[in-house]
Amino acid sequence: MSEHHDPSNVTNPEHAEHHIVTPMTYTIIFGTLLTFTGITVGAAFIDLGIFNPIIALAIASIKAVIVILFFMHVFYQSNLVKMTVSAGFFTFLVLITMTLTDYISRAWGLW
């Protein structure tokens, strides 16, 4: 009977080993985030046309991904948590794209 009550039998295969992130990693991430903040402010003052918002969003996304992966430990988490996080952003994208089908096609060319 002990084999049935073995904890490893109970825990889900969806789990990952616990991992302690070191202060060193955190410091590197902190530095990276500050650097990117500087870059995004600088890039706003240069006229890049349509690429201004694209670069701004790309940098923000990179920063967000870094925070999610390391500050929020998703990099070390199980696939379940990784999928959960992506599901949130997927649904957000559904909200944006499906609503935009209306706004873009309501006035073709004027958008």
Partner 1 sequence: MDNALVATHHHTDETAVHEEHEHVVLPQHRHHFETEQQQREAGTFGMWLFLLTEIMFFGGLFFAYLLYRNWYHDAFVAASNQLSIPLGATNTAILIGSGFFMALGVWAAEVRKKGLLVLFLVITTVLGFAFLGIKYVEYHEKWEKHHIPGEHFDVSEFVNPQAYGLKEQPLAPDMAQKTQVFFSLYFAMTGMHALHMIIGIGLLFWLTWRAYRGEFSSGYVAPIENFGLYWHFVDIVWIFLFPLLYLINRHPGS
Partner 2 sequence: MSTTTTTIVNLPDQRTATLPKRHYLNNEDGLLSWLFTGDHKRIAILYLISITFFFFIGGAFAGLIRLELLTPQPDLMASDTYNKMFSMHGIVMVFLFLVPSVPATLGNFLIPIMLGAKDLAFPKINLLSWYLYVAGGLFTLAALVLGGVDTGWTFTTPLSTHYLNTNVVTAATGIFIAGFASIFTGLNFIVTIHRMRAPGMTWFRMPLFVWANYAASILMVLGTPVVAISLVLVALERTVGIGVFDPTKGGDPLLFQHLFWFYSHPAVYIMILPGMGVISEVISTFSRKRVFGYTAVAFSSVAIALFGFFVWEHHMFIMGVSNYSALVFSLLTMLVAVPSAIKIFNWAFTLQKGSITFETPMIYAFAFMGLFVIGGMTGVFLGALGMDIHLTETYFIVAHFHYVMVGGMLMAFLAGIHFWWPKMTGRMYPESFSKLSAVTSFIGFNLTFMPQFILGYLGMPRRYHVYPPEFQVLNVLSTAGATVLGVGFLLPLLYLGWSLKYGAIAGDNPWQATGLEWQIQSPPITENFTEIPIVDHEAYDYDWLAHKTEQEVTTVG
- Asked whether the beta carbons of 73 and 19 are under 8 A apart, the reply is yes
Residues binding partner 2: what is the number (CB under 8 A)?
20
Q: Calculate the CA 42 to chain-centre distance.
A: 23
- Burial class, 47, CB count within 10 angstroms (exposed 0-12 / middle 13-18 / buried 19+): exposed
Stretch that binds partner 2, among 34-42, 45-53, 57-65, 95-103 (CB under 8 A): 95-103
Q: Which of 20, 24, 46, 98 binds partner 2 (CB under 8 A)?
A: 98
**DSSP string over 52-94:** HHHHHHHHHHHHHHHIIIIIT-GGGS-HHHHHHHHHHHHHHHH
By the rule CB under 8 A, 105 interacts with partner 2? yes
What is the binding site for partner 1 (CB under 8 A)? Answer: 1, 5, 7, 10-12, 15, 18, 20-23, 26-27, 29-30, 33-34, 37, 40-41, 44-47, 49, 52-53, 56-57, 59-60, 63-64, 67-68, 70-73, 77-78, 80-81, 84-85, 87-89, 91-92, 95-96, 99-100, 103, 111
